[in-house]
Amino acid sequence: MPQADFRSPRLFVDAPLAADATLALDRNQSNYLGNVLRLAAGASVLVFNGRDGEWQAAIAGGKRPDRLTLLARTRPQDALPDVTYVFAPLKHARLDYMVQKAIEMGAAALQPVMTRYTQASRVNTERMRANVVEAAEQCGILSVAAVHEPQALVKYLDARDGGRLLIFCDEAAEVADPLAALAGARQAATAGMDVLIGPEGGFAEEERALLLRQPSILRLALGPRIMRADTAAVAALALVQTALGDWNGH
């Protein structure tokens, strides 16, 4: 398996990638390569689009970089495990952190849900998408996670595919071995997984009752201590990826 190159700059480009293709750089990318990294024509960077793998490209342009010429593919496209991270949005920097860490942990999609005790009333999905791209660029990730528009929790549950395993991280659940619980749900996870983390104030009782009536649900405790929501995101996704995702070699 080709190894990721973490020393070369990486750029996400929303364009088809193929040998000898020429890609125009937008203003921000041109500024980043020319003024921030101080790279000149002829310097090499890596590019990806989430579909065609990773490619080595040469910078071209006059006083400032304005285009790239693709040279050769360095890594084939991969696929993320079918894990959707479902969460009550947080405010500002903590939401940025949570989105970035979910991408680093291998989430394939992000779904904000609004609950009774959700603290953030507005969600900037464009900022979320920018954080998704930045995390993928920095961490050698080839697939770009989908960012869905926020939904009320009830609406999300009404519309979700009941064949997918819903991993409900519940602070009120009895503390038990989470890895053992996840291992026991392996067969139910073959149609994909949704990992749900609630707001800082926890779930309302009617929300918890509604969740526990869902098909293919696994109620999971994340240990004996109450975590902040952004910490719970990392803990839950690490457990899921270890037990059911692509951290176990399958």
222 and 141 both lie in a single domain: yes
In this predicted structure, what is the pLDDT of residue 249? 67
53 and 95 both lie in a single domain: no
Enclosing domain of residue 46: 10-75
**Does pLDDT of 18 surpass 60?**
yes
Q: Could you tell me the pLDDT band of residue 250, with boundaries at 50, 70 and 90? A: low
Gap between the Cα atoms of 181 and 187, Å rounded: 12
With CA atoms as reference, report the closest residue to 100 among 44, 141, 158. 141
CATH code, 114: 3.40.1280.10
164 and 128 both lie in a single domain: yes
Torsion-angle region of 38 (φ positive above 0: left; ψ -120 to 50: alpha; else: beta): left
Higher pLDDT pick, 113 / 121: 113
How many other CB atoms are found less than 10 A from the CB of residue 27? 9
* CA–CA–CA angle 218, 91, 135 (5° rounding): 75
* Residue 56 host element (H or E): strand 54-61
121 and 154 both lie in a single domain: yes
Domains contained in the chain, number: 2
152-172 pLDDT, tens digit per residue, is: 999 999 999 999 999 999 988
**Does pLDDT of 185 surpass 90?**
no
**Does pLDDT of 2 surpass 70?**
no
